[in-house]
Structure 1
Amino acid sequence: MAASFLPLPLLLLLLLLLLPAQALNQDGLHLLDAKRALTVPAPALADWNPRDATPCNWTGVACHDHDGAVTAISLPRLNLAGSFPAALCRIPGLRSIDLSDNYIGPDLDVARCRALQRLDLSINALVGPLPDALADLPDLIYLNLQSNNFSGPIPESFARFAKLQSLSLVYNLLDGKVPPFLGRVATLRELNLSYNPFAPGPVPPQLGDLSALRVLWLAGCNLVGTIPPSLGRLTNLTDLDLSTNALTGPIPPEITGLTSAVQIELYNNSLTGPIPTGFGNLQDLRGIDFAMNRLHGAIPEDLFHAPRLETLHLYANALTGPVPESVAKAPSLLELRLFANSLNGTLPADLGRNTPLVCLDISDNAISGEIPPGICDRGELEELLMLDNRLSGRIPDALGRCRRLRRVRLSNNRLAGDVPDAVWGLPHMSLLELNDNHLTGQISPVIAGAANLSKLVLSNNRLTGAIPSEIGSVSKLYELSAGGNMLSGPLPSSLGGLAELGRLVLRNNSLSGQLLRGIESWKKLSELNLADNGFTGSIPPELGDLPVLNYLDLSGNELSGEVPVQLENLKLNQFNVSNNQLRGPLPPQYATEAYRSSFLGNPELCGEIAGLCGGDPQSKKNYHPGFAWMMRSIFIFAAAILVAGVAWFYWRYRTFNRSKLRADRSKWTLTSFHKLSFSEYEILDCLDEDNVIGSGASGKVYKAVLSNGEVVAVKKLWSVAAVENGGGEGSAADDSFEAEVRTLGKIRHKNIVKLWCCCAHKECKLLVYEYMPNGSLGDVLHSSKAGLLDWGTRYKIALDAAEGLSYLHHDCVPAIVHRDVKSNNILLDAELSARVADFGVAKVVEAKSMSVIAGSCGYIAPEYAYTLRVNEKSDTYSFGVVLLELVTGKPPVDPEFGEKDLVKWVCSTLEQKGVEHVLDSRLDMSCFKEEMVRVLNIGLQCASSLPINRPAMRRVVKMLQEVRGEGRPRVDKDGKLSPYYCEDASDQGSSV
Structure 2
Amino acid sequence: MAPLHRWLLHLAVAVAGLILPGVHAGAGDAASGDAGALLAAKAALSDQSGALSAWRARSSGDDLCRWPHVACAAGNTTVADGVVVGLYLGGLYLAGGFPVALCSLGSLRHLDMSSNDLTGPLPACLAGLQALETLNLASNNFSGELPAAYGGGFPSLAVLNLIQNLVSGAFPGFLANVTALQELLLAYNSFSPSSLPDNLGDLAALRVLFLANCSLTGNIPPSVGKLHNLVDLDLSSNNLTGEIPPSIVNLSSLVQIELFSNQLSGRIPAGLGGLKKLQQLDISMNHISGEIPEDMFTAPSLESVHMYQNNLTGRLPATVAAAARLTELMIFANQIEGPFPPEFGKNCPLQSLDVSDNRMSGQIPATLCAGGKLSQLLLLNNKFDGAIPAELGKCRSLMRVRLPCNRLSGPVPLEFWGLPHVYLLELRGNAFSGNVGAAIGRAANLSNLIIDNNRFTGVLPAELGNLTQLVVLSASDNSFTGTVPPSLASLLVLFLLDLSNNSLSGEIPRGIGELKNLTLLNLSNNHLSGSIPEELGGMDKMSTLDLSNNELSGQVPAQLQDLKLLGVLNLSYNKLTGHLPILFDTDQFRPSFLGNPGLCYGLCSRNGDSDSNRRARIQMAVAILTAAAGILLMSVAWFIYKYRSYNKRAVEVDNENSEWVLTSFHKVEFNERDIVNSLTENNLIGKGSSGMVYKAVVRPTGDTLAVKKLWANSMAASKKIDTFEAEVETLSKVRHKNIVKLFCCLTNEVCRLLVYEFMPNGSLGDFLHSAKAGILDWPARYKIALDAAEGLSYLHHDFVPAIIHRDVKSNNILLDADFRAKIADFGVAKSIGDGPATMSVIAGSCGYIAPEYAYTIHVTEKSDVYSFGVVMLELVTGKSPMSSDIGDKDLVAWTAINVEQNGAESVLDEKIAEHFKDEMCRVLRIALLCVKNLPNNRPSMRLVVKFLLDIKGENKPKAMKIAEAPPTT
With 107-116 and 215-224 compared, the bigger mean Cα shift is at 107-116
Deviation per CA, 1:656-707, whole angstroms, max 9, x where unpaired? Answer: xxxxxxxxxxxxxxxxxxxxxxxxxxxxxxxxxxxxxxxx9599xxxxxxxx
The answer to whether the 8 A contact 1:318-1:342 is kept is yes
Match of 2:730 among 764, 771, 776: 776
The answer for the alignment partner of 1:170 in structure 2 is 163
The answer to whether the 8 A contact 1:237-1:261 is kept is yes
The answer for the alignment partner of 2:135 in structure 1 is 143
The answer for the alignment partner of 1:648 in structure 2 is none
With 138-147 and 332-341 compared, the bigger mean Cα shift is at 138-147
The answer for the alignment partner of 2:738 in structure 1 is none
Q: CA deviation at 1:53?
A: 6.8
The answer to whether the 8 A contact 1:432-1:457 is kept is yes
Match of 1:591 among 561, 585, 589: 585
Q: CA deviation at 1:842?
A: 4.5
The answer to whether the 8 A contact 2:45-2:96 is kept is no
Read off the aligned partner of 1:102 and give its amino acid letter: Y
The answer to whether the 8 A contact 2:399-2:423 is kept is yes
Deviation per CA, 1:299-323, whole angstroms, max 9, x where unpaired? Answer: 1000001000001111111111111
Tell me the distance in 2 between the aligned counterparts of 1:806 and 1:435: 39
Q: CA deviation at 1:604?
A: 2.7
- Report matched runs for 1:317-396 at 5 Å: 317-396=310-389
Q: Is 1:637 matched up with 2:629?
A: no
Match of 1:295 among 260, 284, 288: 288
Deviation per CA, 1:251-299, whole angstroms, max 9, x where unpaired? Answer: 1111111111110111111111111100000000001111111111111
The answer for the alignment partner of 2:214 in structure 1 is 221
Read off the aligned partner of 1:129 and give its amino acid letter: P
- Report matched runs for 1:825-840 at 5 Å: 839=864
The answer to whether the 8 A contact 2:356-2:379 is kept is yes
Q: Is 1:575 matched up with 2:586?
A: no
Read off the aligned partner of 1:601 and give its amino acid letter: G
The answer for the alignment partner of 1:600 in structure 2 is 594
The answer to whether the 8 A contact 1:100-1:120 is kept is no
The TM-score normalised by the length of structure 2 is: 0.63
The alpha-carbon distance between structure 1 residues 103 and 514, as it changes in their structure 2 partners (threshold 3 A), is farther
The alpha-carbon distance between structure 1 residues 60 and 956, as it changes in their structure 2 partners (threshold 3 A), is closer
Query: SS of the counterpart of 2:511?
Result: coil
The alpha-carbon distance between structure 1 residues 152 and 455, as it changes in their structure 2 partners (threshold 3 A), is same
Read off the aligned partner of 1:599 and give its amino acid letter: F
Instruction: List runs of 5+ in structure 1 lacking aligned partners.
Output: 1-24, 73-90, 645-695, 700-763, 767-771, 786-796, 808-815, 854-866, 877-951, 961-992
Number of corresponding residues: 684
Tell me the distance in 2 between the aligned counterparts of 1:543 and 1:773: 37
The answer for the alignment partner of 1:546 in structure 2 is 539
Read off the aligned partner of 2:115 and give its amino acid letter: I
The answer for the alignment partner of 1:246 in structure 2 is 239
Query: SS of the counterpart of 1:221?
Result: coil
The answer to whether the 8 A contact 2:45-2:94 is kept is no
The answer to whether the 8 A contact 1:312-1:337 is kept is yes
Read off the aligned partner of 2:393 and give its amino acid letter: G
The alpha-carbon distance between structure 1 residues 606 and 306, as it changes in their structure 2 partners (threshold 3 A), is same
Deviation per CA, 1:941-967, whole angstroms, max 9, x where unpaired? Answer: xxxxxxxxxxx944887999xxxxxxx
The answer for the alignment partner of 2:475 in structure 1 is 482
Q: Is 1:105 matched up with 2:86?
A: no
The answer for the alignment partner of 1:268 in structure 2 is 261
The alpha-carbon distance between structure 1 residues 169 and 452, as it changes in their structure 2 partners (threshold 3 A), is same
The answer to whether the 8 A contact 1:168-1:192 is kept is yes
Tell me the distance in 2 between the aligned counterparts of 1:150 and 1:42: 21
Query: SS of the counterpart of 2:209?
Result: strand
Q: Is 1:425 matched up with 2:425?
A: no
The alpha-carbon distance between structure 1 residues 429 and 349, as it changes in their structure 2 partners (threshold 3 A), is same
The answer for the alignment partner of 1:155 in structure 2 is 147
Tell me the distance in 1 between the aligned counterparts of 2:157 and 2:720: 45
The answer for the alignment partner of 2:880 in structure 1 is 849
Tell me the distance in 2 between the aligned counterparts of 1:131 and 1:609: 87
The answer for the alignment partner of 1:979 in structure 2 is none
The answer to whether the 8 A contact 2:98-2:123 is kept is no
Q: CA deviation at 1:65?
A: 6.5
The answer for the alignment partner of 2:196 in structure 1 is 203
The alpha-carbon distance between structure 1 residues 312 and 434, as it changes in their structure 2 partners (threshold 3 A), is same
Deviation per CA, 1:777-822, whole angstroms, max 9, x where unpaired? Answer: 545665999xxxxxxxxxxx99785478899xxxxxxxx9786434
The alpha-carbon distance between structure 1 residues 32 and 697, as it changes in their structure 2 partners (threshold 3 A), is farther
Read off the aligned partner of 1:118 and give its amino acid letter: H
The answer for the alignment partner of 1:719 in structure 2 is none
The answer to whether the 8 A contact 1:496-1:521 is kept is yes
Tell me the distance in 2 between the aligned counterparts of 1:149 and 1:343: 44
Tell me the distance in 1 between the aligned counterparts of 2:861 and 2:38: 40
The alpha-carbon distance between structure 1 residues 305 and 128, as it changes in their structure 2 partners (threshold 3 A), is same
Q: CA deviation at 1:34?
A: 7.8
Tell me the distance in 2 between the aligned counterparts of 1:552 and 1:186: 70
Tell me the distance in 2 between the aligned counterparts of 1:851 and 1:546: 28
The answer to whether the 8 A contact 2:69-2:87 is kept is no
The answer to whether the 8 A contact 1:372-1:396 is kept is yes
Query: SS of the counterpart of 2:265?
Result: strand
The alpha-carbon distance between structure 1 residues 175 and 953, as it changes in their structure 2 partners (threshold 3 A), is closer
Tell me the distance in 1 between the aligned counterparts of 2:128 and 2:809: 41
The alpha-carbon distance between structure 1 residues 63 and 168, as it changes in their structure 2 partners (threshold 3 A), is closer
Q: CA deviation at 1:523?
A: 3.4
Instruction: List runs of 5+ in structure 2 lacking aligned partners.
Output: 1-30, 608-616, 656-687, 692-718, 736-741, 746-787, 799-807, 813-822, 838-859, 885-910, 924-943, 953-969
Tell me the distance in 1 between the aligned counterparts of 2:689 and 2:862: 14
Q: CA deviation at 1:470?
A: 1.0
Q: CA deviation at 1:546?
A: 2.5
With 527-536 and 432-441 compared, the bigger mean Cα shift is at 527-536
Q: CA deviation at 1:607?
A: 4.7
Q: Greater relative contact order (Cα 8 A, min sep 6): structure 1 or 2? A: 1
The alpha-carbon distance between structure 1 residues 101 and 818, as it changes in their structure 2 partners (threshold 3 A), is farther
The alpha-carbon distance between structure 1 residues 780 and 518, as it changes in their structure 2 partners (threshold 3 A), is closer
The answer for the alignment partner of 2:708 in structure 1 is none
With 561-570 and 528-537 compared, the bigger mean Cα shift is at 561-570
Q: RMSD over aligned Cα, in angstroms?
A: 4.8
The alpha-carbon distance between structure 1 residues 562 and 837, as it changes in their structure 2 partners (threshold 3 A), is farther
Q: Is 1:128 matched up with 2:120?
A: yes
The answer to whether the 8 A contact 1:280-1:304 is kept is yes
Tell me the distance in 2 between the aligned counterparts of 1:199 and 1:610: 74
Query: SS of the counterpart of 1:264?
Result: strand
Q: Is 1:514 matched up with 2:507?
A: yes
The answer to whether the 8 A contact 2:214-2:238 is kept is yes
Tell me the distance in 2 between the aligned counterparts of 1:588 and 1:256: 76
Q: CA deviation at 1:562?
A: 2.4
Read off the aligned partner of 2:452 and give its amino acid letter: S
- Report matched runs for 1:679-690 at 5 Å: none
Tell me the distance in 2 between the aligned counterparts of 1:153 and 1:842: 31
Tell me the distance in 2 between the aligned counterparts of 1:108 and 1:48: 15
The alpha-carbon distance between structure 1 residues 128 and 607, as it changes in their structure 2 partners (threshold 3 A), is farther
Q: CA deviation at 1:102?
A: 2.1
Tell me the distance in 1 between the aligned counterparts of 2:222 and 2:571: 67
The alpha-carbon distance between structure 1 residues 519 and 29, as it changes in their structure 2 partners (threshold 3 A), is farther
Tell me the distance in 2 between the aligned counterparts of 1:643 and 1:112: 79
Tell me the distance in 2 between the aligned counterparts of 1:144 and 1:804: 31
Read off the aligned partner of 2:730 and give its amino acid letter: S
Q: CA deviation at 1:36?
A: 8.5
The answer to whether the 8 A contact 1:387-1:409 is kept is yes
The answer to whether the 8 A contact 1:778-1:823 is kept is no
Tell me the distance in 2 between the aligned counterparts of 1:804 and 1:818: 17
